């Protein structure tokens, strides 16, 4: 039997549900790389052979152990909103989809502890219910997951105040399952979190994350139109530098005159 057949048999034997329907696998094998005409011809044909949807860290560990044993590549997937092919299975193998790991474990004292598949928008609503909000989120906030944002994103709305995800203090701690000869569950805190921050799931599968929140603010949106981009950027810069004004985001979009 091939390594893949052995893995499939082992997973089924362990009671872990697998998906191998070609249509679903095609969907699970892509992200927003198709924004790029350069990446599309390389990534469009790539397909996983199987997908799994674990619902607990114990299940993630069991899957990791079997993939290591049979030497089948693992690609971790959040919501697949990454826009340069970060969750495309380049060598086939197994997709580990985190959508079943969606418990908010703790939400106290300005820190949220969550499983990786929690949607950022869901967490934002839960945090706001307790007087807190996310420090930053990508424009894909409604669909992207916390795990995918930390492993594949960088910053976004809120970064004008709180910096990037990689800035000290934004990501407090993580738990992960490694994919070494004997997969382990590790907890990283302090600067050690940087080993997995923005690492695209290449050195482990995040199973829990503690992220810092900000006090909730009733933000107001204002749109100002400018004749040229330089003026728009100058206002954005001035606002970002004004200590007495709390900014959430400053966007400059310059449309050419018809």
Interface ranges with ligand FAD (CB under 6 A): 31-32, 75-83, 86-87, 98, 116, 138-140, 144-145, 147-149, 151-156, 200-201, 205-206
The smaller minimum CB distance to ligand FAD, of residues 82 and 183, is found at 82
The smaller minimum CB distance to ligand FAD, of residues 61 and 76, is found at 76
**Cα(61)–Cα(170) distance, integer angstroms:** 26
Q: How far is the CB of 186 from ligand FAD (least distance, A)?
A: 12
The smaller minimum CB distance to ligand FAD, of residues 6 and 122, is found at 122
Q: How far is the CB of 72 from ligand FAD (least distance, A)?
A: 16
The number of residues in the chain equals: 258
**Cα(160)–Cα(158) distance, integer angstroms:** 5
The smaller minimum CB distance to ligand FAD, of residues 221 and 243, is found at 221
The smaller minimum CB distance to ligand FAD, of residues 6 and 99, is found at 99
Map tokens 């997969």 to a residue.
Answer: 183
The smaller minimum CB distance to ligand FAD, of residues 93 and 147, is found at 147
Neighbours of 236 (CB within 10 A): 17
Q: How far is the CB of 29 from ligand FAD (least distance, A)?
A: 12
8-state DSSP, 139: T
**Cα(69)–Cα(3) distance, integer angstroms:** 9
* Spatial contact of 113 and 208, defined as CB atoms under 8 Å apart: yes
Q: How far is the CB of 113 from ligand FAD (least distance, A)?
A: 14
Query: Which residue lies nearest ligand FAD, judged by its C-beta?
Result: 148
**Cα(32)–Cα(140) distance, integer angstroms:** 11
* Spatial contact of 133 and 217, defined as CB atoms under 8 Å apart: yes
**Cα(194)–Cα(180) distance, integer angstroms:** 19
Q: How far is the CB of 207 from ligand FAD (least distance, A)?
A: 7
Q: How far is the CB of 190 from ligand FAD (least distance, A)?
A: 19
| Residue 200: strand, helix, or coil | coil
Q: How far is the CB of 88 from ligand FAD (least distance, A)?
A: 9
The smaller minimum CB distance to ligand FAD, of residues 98 and 102, is found at 98
Please, what is the end-to-end C-alpha distance for the chain in angstroms?
63
**Cα(197)–Cα(182) distance, integer angstroms:** 22
Structure token pair of residue 225: 């139109």
**Cα(210)–Cα(50) distance, integer angstroms:** 30
């Amino acid at each position: 039997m091939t390594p893949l057949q052995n893995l499939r048999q082992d997973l089924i034997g362990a009671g872990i549900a697998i998906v191998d329907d070609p249509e679903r696998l095609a969907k699970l094998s892509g992200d927003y790389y198709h924004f790029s005409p350069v990446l599309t011809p390389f990534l469009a044909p790539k397909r996983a052979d199987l997908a799994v949807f674990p619902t607990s860290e114990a299940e993630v560990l069991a899957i990791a152990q079997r993939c290591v044993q049979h030497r089948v590549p693992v690609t971790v997937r959040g919501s697949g909103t990454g826009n340069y092919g970060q969750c495309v299975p380049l060598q086939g193998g197994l997709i580990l989809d985190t959508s079943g790991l969606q418990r908010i474990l703790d939400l106290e004292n300005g820190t949220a502890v969550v499983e990786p598949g929690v949607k950022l928008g869901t967490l934002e609503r839960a945090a706001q219910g307790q007087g807190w909000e996310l420090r930053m989120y990508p424009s894909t906030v409604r669909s992207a997951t916390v795990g995918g944002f930390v492993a594949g994103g960088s910053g976004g709305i809120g970064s004008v105040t709180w910096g990037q995800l990689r800035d000290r203090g934004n990501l407090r701690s993580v738990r992960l399952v490694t994919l070494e000869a004997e997969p382990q569950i590790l907890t990283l805190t302090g600067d050690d979190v940087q080993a997995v921050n923005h690492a695209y799931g290449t050195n482990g599968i995040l199973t829990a994350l503690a992220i810092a929140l900000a006090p909730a603010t009733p933000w107001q949106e204002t749109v100002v139109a400018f004749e040229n981009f330089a003026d728009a950027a100058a206002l954005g810069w001035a606002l970002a530098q004004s200590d007495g004004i709390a900014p959430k985001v400053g966007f400059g979009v310059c449309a050419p005159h018809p």
